[in-house]
Amino acid sequence: MSKLLYFSKFQIVLFLTISFSVLFVNCQQATQTEKVEIIQSATGKKAMVVSAHHLATKVGNDILRKGGNAIDATIAVQYALAVVYPRAGNIGGGGFMVIRSKDGKYDSIDYREKAPKASTKDMYLDSLGNVIPGLSRNGHLAVGVPGTVEGMFEVHKKYGQLKDFKQLIQPAIDLAANGFLLTPLEIERLNRFKADFQKYNKSDNAFIKNTPWIEGDRLVQEELAHTLSLIRDKGRAGFYEGETADKIVAEMKAGNGIITHDDLTSYNAKWRAPLVGDYKNFKIISMAPPSSGGIALLQLLKIVEDYPLSEYGFQSKKAMHLMIEAERRVYSDRAKHLGDNDFYKVPQDSLLDKVYIKERMSDFNPQKATPSDLVAAGSFAIPMESFETTHTSVIDVDGNAVSTTTTLNSNFGSKVVVTDAGFFLNNEMDDFSAKPGVPNQFGLVGNEANAIEPEKRMLSSMTPTIVEKDGELFMVLGSPGGSTIITAVFQVFLNVVEFGMPLDDALFAKRFHHQWLPDVVMYENGGLTEASKQSLKELGHSIKDVKYMALVKAIHVKPDGELHGVGDNRSEDHAAGY
Q: Which amino acid is at 217?
A: D
Q: Which stretch binds ligand GLY (CB under 6 A): 236-244, 313-321, 361-369, 458-466?
A: 458-466
Q: Which is nearer to ligand GLY, 213 or 424 (CB)?
A: 424
Contacts of 435 (CB under 8 A, 6+ apart): 124, 125, 129, 130, 131
Show the beta-strand stretches assigned E in 317-400.
Answer: 390-395
Smallest gap from residue 389 Cβ to ligand GLY (A): 5
User: Does residue 265 carry a catalytic annotation?
Assistant: no
Dihedral of alpha carbons 556, 487, 447, 298, sign: negative
Q: Which stretch binds ligand GLY (CB under 6 A): 6-14, 157-165, 459-467, 494-502?
A: 459-467
Rounded-to-integer distance, Cα 175 and Cα 249, Å: 26
Q: Which is nearer to ligand GLY, 290 or 518 (CB)?
A: 290
Smallest gap from residue 112 Cβ to ligand GLY (A): 8
Smallest gap from residue 348 Cβ to ligand GLY (A): 18
Residues 134-193 contacting ligand GLY, CB under 6 A? none
Q: Which is nearer to ligand GLY, 96 or 197 (CB)?
A: 96
Query: Among residues 183, 460, 487, 495, which is the contact residue for ligand GLY, using CB under 6 A?
Result: 460
The answer to whether 308 and 468 are in contact (CB under 8 A) is no
Residues 395-424 contacting ligand GLY, CB under 6 A? 407, 409
Smallest gap from residue 409 Cβ to ligand GLY (A): 4
3-state secondary structure at position 3: strand
Give the H/E segment covering residue 294: helix 293-304
Q: Which stretch binds ligand GLY (CB under 6 A): 22-30, 32-40, 174-182, 460-468?
A: 460-468
Query: In angstroms, what CA-CA distances link 401 with 358, 490, 493, 515?
Result: 32, 19, 17, 30
For residues 421 to 450, the per-residue mask of contacts with ligand GLY, x marking binding by CB under 6 A and - elsewhere, is ----------x-------------------
Q: Which is nearer to ligand GLY, 248 or 462 (CB)?
A: 462
Phi, psi of 520 (to 5 degrees): -150, 145
Query: Among residues 389, 390, 440, 450, which is the contact residue for ligand GLY, using CB under 6 A?
Result: 389
Q: Which is nearer to ligand GLY, 327 or 498 (CB)?
A: 327
Smallest gap from residue 272 Cβ to ligand GLY (A): 15
Query: Among residues 109, 322, 326, 462, which is the contact residue for ligand GLY, using CB under 6 A?
Result: 462
Rounded-to-integer distance, Cα 305 and Cα 313, Å: 14
Contacts of 522 (CB under 8 A, 6+ apart): 384, 484, 512, 513, 514, 543, 544, 545, 546, 549
Contacts of 28 (CB under 8 A, 6+ apart): none
Rounded-to-integer distance, Cα 394 and Cα 397, Å: 10
Residues 9-38 contacting ligand GLY, CB under 6 A? none
Smallest gap from residue 212 Cβ to ligand GLY (A): 28
Residues 44-103 contacting ligand GLY, CB under 6 A? none
Q: Which is nearer to ligand GLY, 51 or 484 (CB)?
A: 484
Smallest gap from residue 550 Cβ to ligand GLY (A): 11
Contacts of 332 (CB under 8 A, 6+ apart): 372, 375, 376, 516, 517
By CB under 6 A, the count of residues binding ligand GLY is: 8
Q: Which is nearer to ligand GLY, 517 or 528 (CB)?
A: 517
Q: Give the distance, in angstroms, between the CA of residue 10 and the centroid of all CA atoms in the same chain.
A: 34
Q: Which is nearer to ligand GLY, 227 or 407 (CB)?
A: 407
Rounded-to-integer distance, Cα 445 and Cα 229, Å: 40
Query: Among residues 461, 465, 479, 491, which is the contact residue for ligand GLY, using CB under 6 A?
Result: 461
Residue 525 CB burial class (10 angstroms; 0-12, 13-18, ≥19): exposed
Q: Give the distance, in angstroms, between the CA of residue 99 and the centroid of all CA atoms in the same chain.
A: 17
Active-site pick, 389, 390, 392, 487: 389
Rounded-to-integer distance, Cα 480 and Cα 1, Å: 21
Q: Which is nearer to ligand GLY, 142 or 248 (CB)?
A: 142
Smallest gap from residue 470 Cβ to ligand GLY (A): 31
Q: Measured at CB, which residue is nearest to ligand GLY? A: 460
Q: Which stretch binds ligand GLY (CB under 6 A): 203-211, 260-268, 457-465, 523-531?
A: 457-465
Smallest gap from residue 431 Cβ to ligand GLY (A): 5
Residue 365 CB burial class (10 angstroms; 0-12, 13-18, ≥19): exposed
3-state secondary structure at position 42: strand
Residues 472-491 contacting ligand GLY, CB under 6 A? 482
Q: Which of 485, 299, 294 has its CA nearest to residue 391?
A: 485
DSSP string for 509-529: S--EE--SSS--EEEETT-S-
Q: Which stretch binds ligand GLY (CB under 6 A): 5-13, 46-54, 327-335, 454-462?
A: 454-462
Q: Return residues touching ligand GLY (CB under 6 A).
A: 389, 407, 409, 431, 460-462, 482
Active centre residues (catalytic) = 389
